[in-house]
Structure 1
């Protein structure tokens, strides 16, 4: 074991390895390193241990992490060379020594592990296994013939061959082969055919001259994979005589592949640089940033050809805007000092005299040197910057408009009479309007973030939450009838609830708009009661009409008919007839009787007309279908072509409903007779399930509905009769195109109105 030799010079090997260890990106490479690399913290506790040579000590990668150096060595003796070397490294010195440990010889370098600021935070060590070298040195001192036996464990291929190239021993072979497969065969069995001749010359020269010769040749493994070796062939002497040769083969395959990759990478870089829309450069970090490489787009960006920059005739420093130059230099120097990339935005003067905005990104290639090289990319972003400024201006205007819209929307929400609210998926309130707070006597702080159970009694809250969940699960707007507590008792609400979705379509909240319909329900109930009352009054009226009609028919009409018959008998008895059976003329008494008979006949017709107007007897006796048929016949007598079409399933309807239908037809035909000047009239009565549709259509002159005087009750009366029975109706007419009256009535309405028959 040698005494440690210290130095203040940082190791050119261990410091880059320290960076690789810290970066965490070289684990695979370090694990294959033909050495041992370790790091320790300030307490000399292992933080990593990597390298293929760990296997020589029977250790796995990072197996000793967490153990101290003293535990590893089995001693804490201060003068132990290894302990002393590590303590010197902690003091900032680099120590190199040779050590023997675990029956292996190592060339050891221990260096301080520093931060970028230069602070020592630990130790990094590198141990190269020189066991083979030492053994070979000892073997050559004893006998050159024993050299090959000491090559076991070498990372390279070491073979003992004779003058014919036949292998007598080998330290290791391809994984597919054993030593037995190799020993006794010639090296030419694996060498590329194109390299066999020069390899023969190599062997011949070694045995003839007794000198070490060097050559590169290619070898194929059993799977056909090609390897390139850097080979050194030296003689083995016994008592001064050459009895064999040692062939040491160093695998260059990976190195050549790396070199080829580098060449390809350089070509790709050049191809990429020449085709990029921006400027790619390589320059010195001097006062003018002297250019070593530029691609063609620099002329489009600056107006100057790349040759102007490469020759030094023009520099970017000459083009910097005076207000930007100092900041550019400061930022670049700062990035170099911090070993980081720089990102700049500045202005340059184009050859045309205009200033253009430039965006640049770059990095120093060797920042530890004052004359570091800079590589980077820059582009003209003048138009993008102008567009960005315009976009920013538009965005700010949009923000102002949005703020105004939000304020307007808030005003609308706060001033609507509806209750507006928003809840998250857990039922917590996110927003409520002023109406919500006023109605339920709440403050905003007592609502936001709270659930319905916190705000309302349980019986209301549970129902609200159930409806909210239904909306969220359905994912569509839904309408609900809800009840909420008020000072004067529960109020009825119509609530429209809808899910709110984010940009991805995911539901994140629920919004509700609830309108108090209590007054409307009360008004509807009052209207319904009023309609029932009116129907009852109408029923009473119809009953009175029926009674009056019967009184006229059975009383007055019968008396008048009897009087007419008596006048007829008196007339026949008192006024003699001539020979032809005709009564004489000029008799005053006969004339009086004739006049009385005429008056009585007119009274009978008027009585029957009154009966028809009050309540036609046929309506009670035969129903609404026959009654409408009677009205149709009366219309035909007055010169109209009236057609009646009916498709119904009922036999009879409630008397009040039959009377209403009859009155509507009667009123419509009266309007046709008085105003339409129509020739043809169609009356249709059809049944669809529990609804009746009545239509009266004429081909008369029609009318302008807007010009109908408000005191005309005919059209309004039809609509009101329909509404009274829960139906709808309308009169549609256009001047010159006739009139269409239609009414739809529910058959079941009277079943919901007790006391009406």
Structure 2
């Protein structure tokens, strides 16, 4: 049975709560109605019974009343306000945003999507995102087929979070960029069942990674062409090696992994027992003098062969602030 319609008196009372969700006391409402508190209390109680107001006792005897938000207030986004808020926060940020409804139509995008993909807000909103991916976005991406397959799969099974990187090719006013795609289902609110997609600009990060990789390759090429074994180790009696170049195998008969892991100790397994004390004293003396050292000594190879080596090194500070040794060791057996 439907509840009876509100009387004029109840509508007059309820109107005082329009546009104001702040709890009000009985006295405040009574003053506005120019009515006694008992009569005001009766009206407010009737509005609670009609599920138009909610109430709560506070303190020993006081009570407050307020109007709860309607379903429309909860489920329908105030997009003028929402757009203003998101525009202020996200439009100048390095992240593109797509909000998709449960049919995977575009409900909202920010300005960054135009910068990244050349998309126009008016032409995109309301359009099916599958069509948008197939007809336009995928063609701007290197490995476009893989991009389309990965994104469209999230619409076919909208139950998981997706994350991957993609390369946007330059053209039609677009700049070359690296973007990181992150998306997940929308589980509540007006667009529950839809999906939110974020594209973070990681171009600077990728360029830094590429520069580091190129630098690493140049360093590796330089090291491989140096005569002798390049190394980095801690300044301790056992000379624990953090890095040795591939030339270590020709010099010692051991591979780099065995030496770097400590399976083979430079001091205990390779340096000749009679030369260990002399090496330590020579290195420490040079470091104390000018931070550098030069020494000659014997080593024992994996095949029990004795070789003479010449070593030159210096003390450097690593990224953690610790002092380590870097240098090169060359076979001089033929000169002895």
TM (normalized to structure 2)?
A: 0.51
Cα shift readout 1:69-93 (whole Å, capped 9, x = no counterpart): xxxxxxxxxxxxxxxxxxxxxxxxx
User: What is the distance in 1 between the residues matched to 2:117 and 2:166?
Assistant: 20
The CA distance in 2 between the partners of 1:212 and 1:350, in whole Å, is 56
- 1:469-488 equivalences under 5 Å are none
Cα 1:144/1:242, change in 2 over 3 Å: farther
- Structure-2 residue corresponding to 1:277: 227
Shift of 1:277: 0.9
Question: What's 1:214 paired with?
Answer: 163
Q: Deviations over 1:179-207 (max 9, x none)?
A: 5476446355122321112211223433x
Query: How many residues are matched?
Result: 232
For CA contacts below 8 A with separation 6 or more, give which structure has more relative contact order. Answer: 2
Q: What is the alpha-carbon root mean square deviation over aligned residues?
A: 4.6
- 2:177 aligned with 1:230: no
Alignment of 1:498-509 (within 5 A): none
Deviation for aligned residue 1:242? 2.0
> Do residues 360 (structure 1) and 300 (structure 2) align?
no
1:319-334 superposed matches below 5 A? 320=275, 322-323=277-278, 325-329=280-284, 332=287
Aligned residue number for residue 328 of structure 2: 377
1:146-161 alignment runs, 5 A limit: 146=82, 148-149=86-87, 150-161=89-100
Partner residue of 1:170 out of 94, 105, 110? 110
Alignment of 1:637-656 (within 5 A): none
Q: How does 1:176-187 map to 2 (within 5 A)?
A: 177=118, 179-180=120-121, 183-184=124-125, 186-187=132-133
Pick closer, same or farther for the CA change 1:353–1:152 going to 2, 3 Å: closer
Change in 2 beyond 3 A, CA 1:165/1:240: closer
Compared CA separation, residues 353 and 237, structure 1 to 2 (3 A): closer
| SS of corresponding position for 1:232 | strand
Residue ranges of structure 1 left out of the alignment (5+ in a row): 1-139, 336-340, 385-757
CA spacing shift, 1:362–1:177, aligned 2, 3 Å: same
2:20 paired residue number: none
Query: Would the alpha carbon gap of residues 180 and 296 (structure 1) be closer, same or farther in structure 2, given more than 3 Å must change?
Result: closer
Aligned-partner Cα distance in 2 for 1:244–1:296: 54
Distance in 1 between the 2:292 and 2:123 partners?
Answer: 60
Distance 1:218-1:271 versus aligned 2 partners, 3 A rule: closer
Cα distance change of structure 1 residues 287 and 353 upon mapping to structure 2, 3 Å threshold: same
Q: Counterpart of 2:137?
A: 190
Q: Distance in 1 between matches of 2:291 and 2:105?
A: 59
Q: In 2, distance between residues paired with 1:148 and 1:187?
A: 23
Partner residue, 2:253: 305
Specify whether residues 239 and 156 from structure 1 end up closer, same or farther in structure 2 by C-alpha distance, changes over 3 A only: closer
Give the one of 165, 186, 201 matched to 2:153. Answer: 201
Q: 1:349 aligns with which of 291, 295, 298?
A: 298
Shift in Å at residue 345 of structure 1?
1.7
Q: State the alpha-carbon separation in 1 of the partners of residues 91 and 275 from structure 2.
A: 64
Give the corresponding residue for 1:290: 240
**What is the alpha-carbon distance in structure 2 between the residues aligned to residue 277 and residue 212 of structure 1?**
51
Instruction: Summarize the Cα distance change of 1:220–1:366 in structure 2 as closer, same or farther, 3 Å threshold.
Output: closer
- 8 Å Cα contact 1:190/1:219 also seen in 2: no
- Provide, for residues 242-287 of structure 1, a one-character-per-residue CA deviation record: whole Å limited to 9, x for no partner: 2754321112344344444444544443343233113211334432
1:174 partner SS = helix
CA separation in 1, counterparts of 2:117 and 2:246? 53
Post-superposition CA distance 1:583-630 (Å, at most 9, x none): xxxxxxxxxxxxxxxxxxxxxxxxxxxxxxxxxxxxxxxxxxxxxxxx
Structure 1 residues 158, 176: closer, same or farther in 2, change over 3 A? closer
| CA distance in 1 between partners of 2:78 and 2:231 (Å) | 57
Partner of 2:24: none
Quote the residue 2:53 is aligned against.
Answer: none
Q: Secondary structure at the match of 2:230?
A: strand
CA contact (8 A) 1:148 1:158 kept: no
Partner of 2:199: 249
CA distance in 2, matches of 1:222, 1:182: 19
TM-superposed deviation, 1:289 = 0.8
Contact 1:159–1:171 (8 Å) recurs in 2: no
The 5 A counterparts of 1:540-689 are none
Q: Check whether the contact 1:288–1:316 (CA below 8 A) recurs between aligned residues.
A: no
Task: Supply the distance in 2 between the matched residues of 1:297 and 1:243 (Cα, whole angstroms).
Answer: 59
Change (3 A) 1:356 1:214: closer
Instruction: Tell me the CA shift for residue 346 of structure 1.
Output: 2.1
Matched ranges for 1:396-407 at <5 A: none
Q: CA deviation at 1:156?
A: 1.7
What is the CA–CA distance in structure 2 between the aligned matches of 1:383 and 1:279, rounded to whole Å? 17
1:203, 1:233 within 8 Å by CA — same for their partners in 2? no
Quote the residue 1:458 is aligned against.
Answer: none
Partner Cα separation in structure 1 for residue 269 and residue 118 of structure 2: 64
Q: Distance in 2 between matches of 1:266 and 1:178?
A: 38
| Secondary structure at 2:197 match in 1 | strand
